[in-house]
Amino acid sequence: MSKQNVVICRKLADDLPETLGRFSYDKLFVLMDEHTERYCFPVVREYPCLKDAVTISVGAGDVHKNLSVLSDVWMHLSREGATRHSLFINLGGGMITDLGGFAAATFKRGIKCMNIPTTLLAMVDAAVGGKTGINFNGLKNEIGAFAPACSVLIDCGFLKSLDHFNILSGYAEMLKHGLISDETHWGRLIRFDMEKIDYNALQDLVCESISVKEKIVKMDPFEQGMRKALNFGHTMGHAFESFALAEDCPVLHGYAVAWGMVCELYFSYLKTGFPKDKLYQTVQFIKENYGKLNFTCKDYDRLYEFMKHDKKNLSAGTINFTLLGEVGDIRINQTATRKEIDEMLDFYCDVMG
């Protein structure tokens, strides 16, 4: 997989033209959704380097990450005369970088693509590492490709336009990066004051977080082994996310991951010896900031059904987990029995109150 250049912007007005200057292209396209068109595009609209860019706007939200919207984007590219030498910029959150990255990867067998993530979740996760795709047939990210953007421009100024819930959603992936990397980084993350955000300190943490992800992706770009570390908290997390959606009260991805980490850290404590004090410190941080998802033991069967359909499972009937023996001590390809899954859920219900 080709190397992805991540630029931490000091001033997007300078960094964008400089980055664009490194590539040759005949036409520039900017994809955004209705929210980033309103709140983020005005920041860049007047830049001379984007003067002739063709803009494409799609509906906001994960429901639009589908084949029909993808086809609209292809149609736009086709009608506006995009060629294999055109350059495609994704300006938005994870939905835009996933959909736009896949549109660019497939149009005329692939055109160059650049990401300018505007949410915390996209900065530390979706926009980095080359995963692109769409939802299909009711399944998340069912169709896609590993296709890294040539450059990712991180401008933390966009974070000021995010509400607290979306900051917390992205922060959960940062907490995951802390847990799978090292104790100092993890310690800084759980001491961070989420109620009074210091955006300069947040930017430092974002940079650290991105470099954790970059290191892992470099080792294993196609998720054959170590990249599964990035799935920590996600087996339970995806089940919580699907459950909440089915209950008609959808939750942000990062919240589900945070709750998933409560369960998977507990399982790590039981199965791979994760230290009890760090388990409780992390759980306390999550409880204070993310609250809890409401379910009872009557819902365990449904949660288990969602886990059985997770695409991370290696074979039918076994549920795959990434666990930790310590902060930074990653144990991939662990499995849990139904009884162990029930124990994790019991712990969650007890500890989250």
Tell me the CA distances in angstroms from 273 to 2, 188, 230, 241, one per residue in order: 37, 22, 19, 27
In the annotation, is 80 catalytic?
Answer: no
Q: Does 125 bind ligand GLY (CB under 6 A)?
A: yes
Q: What track of x and - describes contact with ligand GLY for positions 138 through 157 (by CB under 6 A)?
A: --------------------
Whole-angstrom distance, CA of residue 75 vs CA of residue 54: 13
In the annotation, is 112 catalytic?
Answer: no
Q: Does 129 bind ligand GLY (CB under 6 A)?
A: yes
Whole-angstrom distance, CA of residue 32 vs CA of residue 90: 6
- Tell me the closest approach of the beta carbon of residue 146 to ligand GLY, in angstroms: 9
In the annotation, is 231 catalytic?
Answer: yes
Q: Which of 64, 65, 131, 228 is catalytic?
A: 131
Nearer to ligand GLY, 15 or 173 (CB): 173
Nearer to ligand GLY, 165 or 222 (CB): 222
The DSSP line for 228-268 is GGGGTTHHHHHHHHHHHHHTT----HHHHHHHHHHHHHHHH
8, two tokens: 């931490």
CA-wise closest residue to 252 among 97, 151, 133, 120: 120
- Tell me the closest approach of the beta carbon of residue 230 to ligand GLY, in angstroms: 4
Selected from 131, 176, 271, 331, the binder of ligand GLY by CB under 6 A is 131
Structural contact between residues 305 and 221, judged by C-beta atoms closer than 8 angstroms: no
Q: Does 230 bind ligand GLY (CB under 6 A)?
A: yes
Q: Does 227 bind ligand GLY (CB under 6 A)?
A: yes
In the annotation, is 65 catalytic?
Answer: no
Helix (H, G, I), strand (E, B) or coil at 33: strand
In the annotation, is 223 catalytic?
Answer: yes
CA angle, residues 326, 329, 332, in degrees to nearest 5: 120
Q: Which of 35, 64, 238, 278 is catalytic?
A: 238
Residues of this chain that interact with ligand GLY (CB under 6 A) are: 125, 129, 131, 227, 230
Instruction: Report, as residue numbers or ranges, the catalytic residues.
Output: 109, 131, 173, 213, 223, 227, 231, 234, 238, 253
